[in-house]
Structure 1
């Protein structure tokens, strides 16, 4: 699956807000996505959270999502279902990964 030429890996990062407990443990959040560029679908994902439960939940939230029409619906779902400190940093890391994907797709067109 991952070795297919239609799949690409992108990553986005964002800094947690200074002064929050999560910043003291982990200053930056990373969102790493494997995307099928023919289907514009997130095949797999991981996040650089320390806790497995958080990583697994986020992975299940984004995997299988079609991003052909953008990520507004995905961001809305994260806002509704993921009430954690640093939520904005999490969302920004997803946006950064998506923007990187768009840049790559555009350059390969």
Structure 2
């Protein structure tokens, strides 16, 4: 299988918690994840986040993570490195994208 044929793109979305500034301004967060089916790793990932720096930080944190055993490593990295309002929405959007990836396997 060629490299481009082994890549799949999925997306997930989540609502930010009500009564937060993120919800008032953006309401939702989206996660687009490109997964290499051969290696079962995150090839690239992007978020519809407030600031580009946040998106870059998350992408750098999660790019290359194995999904072979589910989202445990993703959750661990988020817990260790992300302390922002709405982190639950970020996790849920990733979960939704992952679930869609599992449907393609």
TM-score by length of 1: 0.91
How many residues align? The count is 103
Q: Does 1:98 align with 2:98?
A: yes
Mapped to 2, the partners of 1:38 and 1:27 lie a distance apart of 35
SS at match of 1:5: helix
Q: Deviations over 1:2-53 (max 9, x none)?
A: x711100000110001110110110001111111011101111100002011
**Counterpart in the other structure of 2:9:** 9
Partner of 1:33: 33
Q: Within the alignment, does 1:50 sit opposite 2:57 as a pair?
A: no
Q: How does 1:74-93 map to 2 (within 5 A)?
A: 74-93=74-93
| CA-atom RMSD in angstroms | 1.0
Structure 1 gaps, min length 5: none
Shift in Å, 1:83: 0.6
Task: Note if contact 2:65-2:73 (Cα within 8 Å) is conserved in structure 1.
Answer: no
Q: Is the Cα contact below 8 Å between 2:8 and 2:34 reproduced in 1?
A: yes
CA distance, structure 2, for counterparts of residue 15 and residue 104 of structure 1: 24
Question: Displacement, 1:63?
Answer: 0.3
CA offset digits 1:30-80 (Å, max 9, x no partner): 111111011101111100002011000000011011111111121121022
